[in-house]
Chain A
Amino acid sequence: MNLQAIKVIYKSEMSRFFRTVAQSFLSPVLSTSLYFIVFGSAIGSRIQEVEGVAYGAFIVPGLIMLTVMTQSTSNASFGIYFPKFIGTIYELLSAPVSFLEIVVGYVGAAATKAFIIGMVILGTAFFFVDLDIQHPFAMLAFLILTCLSFALLGFILGIWAGNFEQLQLVPLLVVTPLVFLGGSFYSISMLPPFWQKVTLFNPVVYLVSGFRWSFFGTADVPVGLSLAAIGLFTLACLGFVWWIFKTGWKIRS
C-alpha cells in the first residue's frame, strides 16, 4: 500500500478546496441561506407543519442532502477529470500507485469537502430554525455514507467524461432533478397516490428519508430500507470502480 501517494493526492485535492474557498465553500452556504430565507421564513411561515415539524426545520435535512450530493459528485468528478484535461494524469499512471489508492485519495478528499460543507450548512441552519437532532450518530453515518457514495459516483463520471459539458451533464440532468423530486422539500405522503408509487423508484427518496429520520424520528420509508438503499448504491459504485480498475476503461490506452 502506497500510503504516501494517498496522502499527497488527498492533500493536494484539499488544498485546491481551500485555494478556491469562495467558490467551493461560500457559494453553497450562501445559496442554502437563501433557501432558508425564501422557503423557511417567507413562504414557510404560511405552510402548515409537516408531520409535526415546522416547515423551515423540515427542509433542513433535504437541503443538506441536496448540497452534499451535488457537491461530492462535482468535487470528485472535477478532481479526476482535471488531471485528464490538463495532461497531468501521466504522472498518476506512471507512478507506483494502484487504482484503489487513486480512488481513496480523490474520493476521500471529495467526500471530506462535501462533509465539511454539509456541517457548515447544518451550522447555518441553527441560525434560522429551531433544530433538535434525535439520532446524531445515525445522522453522521448517513451523511458520511452519502458523501462517500456520491463522491464515488462523481469519480466514475470524471473518468467517463470526455469534455467539460459531459462533466456537467449527469450532475445537472440526473442528480439535481432526482434530489429535488426525492422529497427534499416535501414529504412523499403529500403526493397523489400514483406519484407516491412512482417516486419509490427514485433512489434519493431513501437517502433523504433516512437522513430526515435521524433528525425528527419520522420517515417516508422504513429506516432499514434507507440503509439498505444507500448500501446498495455504494456497492454498485464500488463495483463499477472495480471494473474500471480491471479494464483501464477510459484511462489507459
Chain B
Amino acid sequence: MSSIVSVKNVTKTYDGGFQALKGASLEIQEGEIIALLGPNGAGKTTLISTICGITTMTSGEIKVGGHDIEKDYRAARSLIGLVPQEINLEPFEKVIDTVSFSRGLFGKKPNQEYVEGVLKTLSLGDKMENRVMMLSGGMKRRVLIAKALSHEPRVLFLDEPTAGVDVELRKDMWETVAELKKQGVTIILTTHYIEEAEAIADRVAVINHGEILLVEDKDTLMSQMGKKNLVIELNSPITAIPKALKSYGLTVSEDGLNLTYTYDTKGERTGITTLLTDIQKAGLTFRDVQTSQSSLEDIFVGLVQEDAQ
C-alpha cells in the first residue's frame, strides 16, 4: 500500500514560543482508519491543522496524495475533508446552503443530488431546509461531517468527532466511519477516548508533547503489549514468596492474600500449569484464580507515563 499522507519531521513553534510539534513523522496508508491518541495539549489538533493548511509548519515536509501541501496546496487540499473539533457553523444559514457552500469552496461544480445524498446518509434528510441554529448539538456535528464530505474527499480528518456526544450518536458516528472506509476513504481521527480507537481504528498512533511515540497496528499493539495478569487468591496470607516460586516474578498484595503473575498471551508457554503445580508443592492452597487482559488504555497510560519520566 502507498501512503496517502506523509508527514516528515514536522515542527511547529507558535509565535509565543510554544513548541507544539517536535519533529513528528507519520505515514498514513490509503484506505485505513488511523487513530491519533493523546492527552489534551499533546499536539493532535496542531498536527491536523498543519496537514490541512490552517496552521503553517515551522519546518518539515508534508505530502497528501503525493502533493506537497505548500507548493501544490490546491491539489493537496482538494483531497482533504476536515471535521473540526469545535462546532463552527454559520447559525443563520440553511443546512443545504452551508453544505453546498463547502462543495463550491473546494472547486466542485454544484451537485444537488450528491449533497442531498450525503445529508440523507447522515440522517439530515429532513433538516435540509432548516437553519443551522435550529439544530441540536449532535445534528450540528453531522452538518460539519456533511460539509467535510461535500466535495468527495479521499482523506477525512475527524478532530475529536465524538467529544460531548451521547452514546447513541457516537455509535452512529462509528457506523458512518465504517461505511466511509468501505467506500475507500482514508480516515484520520483524533480522540482521547481509548475505546473509540479500540472500536474503529486499524492503526493507532500515540502522540504526546508534540512527538509521535508509537505507530502500530491496533491488534499487534494489543497482542504485543497486551500482557495478561493471573491473580491467585490464597486461603491464608503469606509474608514472603516461597523460594521455589522466586523464578516466576510474582508480586504479593499488601495483605499477603493475592499473588499476581504476569504472562504473555502470545508466548509459547504461559507457565501457568507449572506455576500452579509449584504453588501446591510449596504447600500453599488457593480458593480463586482470575485473569485480566490489559486494554489499550493501560498501554496508552503506560506509554504516556514513560514519556513523562
Contact = CB atoms under 8 A, between A and B. Distances in A.
A90 interface: yes
Closest 8 CB pairs of A and B: A8-B104, A87-B88, A96-B74, A96-B77, A94-B52, A95-B105, A2-B107, A4-B104
Interface in B86-114: 86, 88-93, 97, 100-110
A97 interface: yes
A46 interface: no
Contact of A252 (B55, B86, B108, B109): B55
Contact of A253 (B15, B86, B104, B106): B15
B88 A88 contact: yes
Interface residues of A, number: 28
Contacts of B97: 12, 15
B105 A5 contact: yes
Given A7-B104, A8-B105, A12-B97, A93 B90 contact: no
Contacts of B55: 252-253
Contact of B106 (A5, A19, A248): A5
Contact of B53 (A2, A5, A83, A93): A93
Nearest to B14: A253
Interface in A1-27: 2, 4-5, 7-9, 11-12, 15-16, 19
A248 B56 contact: yes
A91 B108 contact: no
Interface string A72-96: 0000000000110011101111111
A141 B110 CA distance: 33
Contacts of A97: 105, 107
Interface in B107-133: 107-110
18 contacts: A4-B108, A4-B109, A4-B110, A5-B106, A8-B103, A8-B105, A82-B90, A90-B54, A91-B82, A91-B105, A91-B147, A94-B80, A95-B105, A95-B106, A96-B73, A96-B78, A96-B106, A96-B107
Interface residues of B, number: 36
Interface string B145-163: 0010000000000000000
A88 B89 contact: yes
Contacts of A4: 104-110
A97 B53 CA distance: 11
A131 B112 CA distance: 48
B105 A252 contact: no
Contacts of B88: 86-88, 90-91
A214 B103 CA distance: 43
B103 to A, nearest CB: 8
A12 B93 contact: yes
